[in-house]
Chains A and B, each alone.
Chain A
Amino acid sequence: MDNLGFTVAAYVATFTLIGAYTWSLARRVRRARRGRSWP
């Protein structure tokens, strides 16, 4: 892996984590709004 590969890996890791958290949070908020968190 050359230097550019490390750079790409760092950006991909960062935005994958942030994206996954954002998506998961949006889903949890939608569920809570529908009142399904406590069946």
Chain B
Amino acid sequence: MAIERLGKLAGLVALPALAGGLYLGLVWAPPDAMMGDVQRIMYVHFPSWIATGLAYLTAFVCSLLYLVRRTPRLDYLAHAGVEVGVLFNATGLITGSIWGRPTWGVWWTWDPRLTTTAIMLVMFAGYLIVRAFIEDPDARARVAALVGIVGFVNVPIVYMSVRWWRTLHQVQSSPSTVHPDMVVALRVMMVTFALLACYLMTRRYELARLEGEAERAEAAPHG
């Protein structure tokens, strides 16, 4: 499978990229003038959201295409996108919470950005739960595609939340206002996390494909 080979390639590139990104983020980039070393959390926090967005976008596009074409492989890839998206959604929330304690003084607050990302996690975790409760593969894929599409509606709301309701979480930074060394470290980690997400999605796709093939073979009438 071409997609699985591409995923393995992404994984192979991600490993040295991760080593380089960790060096850049933890050693090479300067500490923030106000926050000190705690700002280095940015190099895993923001890339987590890049990976989350990429994974959920994959799930959204594949869910839409599934409803048009009804190809099981689109359903497998949508499933993979949601599962990997939930993983990075969780790392984004956890690192944000750990960053929030020394900078805001709280582990958690019902700020619109935090609240919408938490809702996003719950909605996509719901997608995985819904899948687990439907036995028929076609009905499961159809319902999951609908949940995936509805769930994705929240993604642009998450992105815009810091502009629409300006409270505690900062708005998106511009590279022009950040030290160039920080920008390099952040970009390397963003690419690394995107590659990791691609690798994990293709592995999860492979698993869904194997499970789907076995399930359909079992359901087929035996001669």
Q: List 20 A-B contacts (CB under 8 A).
A: A3-B38, A7-B38, A9-B98, A10-B41, A10-B45, A10-B99, A11-B26, A11-B41, A11-B44, A13-B94, A14-B91, A17-B90, A18-B196, A21-B200, A22-B200, A26-B203, A29-B206, A32-B210, A33-B210, A37-B210
Given A32-B210, A32-B211, A37-B210: A3 and B94 within 8 A (CB)? Answer: no
Chain B residues with a Cβ closer than 8 Å to the other chain, count: 31
Q: Are the CB atoms of A13 and B87 closer together than 8 Å?
A: no
- The answer to whether the Cβ of B113 comes within 8 Å of any Cβ in the partner chain is no
* CB under 8 Å from chain B, chain A span 1-39: 3-4, 6-7, 9-11, 13-14, 17-18, 21-22, 25-26, 28-29, 32-33, 35, 37-38
> Which B residues are within 8 Å of any A CB, using their own CB?
22, 26, 35-38, 40-41, 44-45, 48, 87, 90-91, 94-95, 98-99, 101-102, 196, 200, 203-204, 206-207, 210-211, 214-215, 218
Given A10-B94, A29-B210, A38-B215: A3 and B102 within 8 A (CB)? Answer: yes
> How close is B167's CB to chain A, nearest CB, in angstroms?
22
Instruction: Compute the total of residue contacts between A and B using a CB distance below 8 Å.
Output: 71
Most chain A Cβ neighbours within 10 Å, of B26, B45, B95 = B95
Cα distance A32–B64 when bound, in Å?
A: 27
Q: Are the CB atoms of A13 and B91 closer together than 8 Å?
A: yes
